[in-house]
Structure 1
Amino acid sequence: MYNNKPKTNITIEPATAARLAEIPNIVGVKDSTGDFTNLLEYIRLTKDNPDFHVLVGRDTLIYAGLCCGAVGSIASCANVAPRLVADIYDKYMAGDREGALEAQFKLNPLRLATSMGTFPEVIKEGLMQMGFPVGRCLAPIKELNADQKVKLHQVLAQLGLVAD
């Protein structure tokens, strides 16, 4: 299941997800709301079902979600910085909580930069700045303006993903 009302026009309440989790072929939920309380409720209400998994869909909450019982993340920023996103998970699973939190803090400016434009334009612009010819989004999604492109470039440079 995918809980992201702006993209799906539907909200899957945690209590509803818990009931649906009892159906054998429903194995998890990705929560992209960015509402940590909501994420915690998914985890709390389904924690006793070993066949159901909660995935974090907001990149800034990966570490916190793992600490509370989420099994992983499907992160938009992994398209631009896959190693950094994987580092959060890998370090956490290896018991390096400090390293995982450091990786989370390093990722956050990139995720916050995605609010400069409409998804997936910021991701595509980042990939293009990194040398990947992924092309532009189709209308009605607008291209980032020059100032936004510069700000994104600065974030990518801080992560070592583009030359300064």
Structure 2
Amino acid sequence: MASWLPVTLFEIVGQGQAPSKDYYQLLVTRSQVIFRWWKISLRSEYRTTKPGEAKETHEDFLENSQLQGKFDFLERLPDSLLLSIISYLDLEDIARLSQTSHRFAKLCMSNQLWEQIVQSACDTITPDMRALAEDIGWKQMFFTNKLQLQRQLRKRKQKHGSQIWKEQV
């Protein structure tokens, strides 16, 4: 599964709070977490300061409280990346994750996540299935059994067909 992931999973750069001009970069790759910093100052005592870099495996990073600092890096990840990560979880883990915070509850209930899950579970999604999912929601579609989905698709086609017939008359 790791081969499906891009080499760089996450990157964020920033500048220290004013009046600092220090530059920071956090880079998460498939195999390691890299934290880089550059001290930028006109003061003479910092002129010989060289850029710094700390590289750790994911496991070592999680154990290194000094490297992690007081940041919650999950909170800094964009929703699109979190949704991609969550889509690989088991359903039980998604349910547990949804109970950890308001943000994760919202992400775990989102149509975007359940659309990704349905797409990974189904070989093909027809335009009729997509339209039905937009009506009832992707999560509802995922948990509805196949016979009920077929019945709902038939009803939708009949309703749509009668509307077209009325428009033509």
> When the two structures are superposed, what TM-score results if normalisation uses the length of structure 1?
0.30
Q: Which has the higher contact order (CA 8 A, sep 6+)?
A: 1
Structure of larger gyration radius:
2
Which structure: greater strand fraction? Answer: 2
> When the two structures are superposed, what TM-score results if normalisation uses the length of structure 2?
0.30
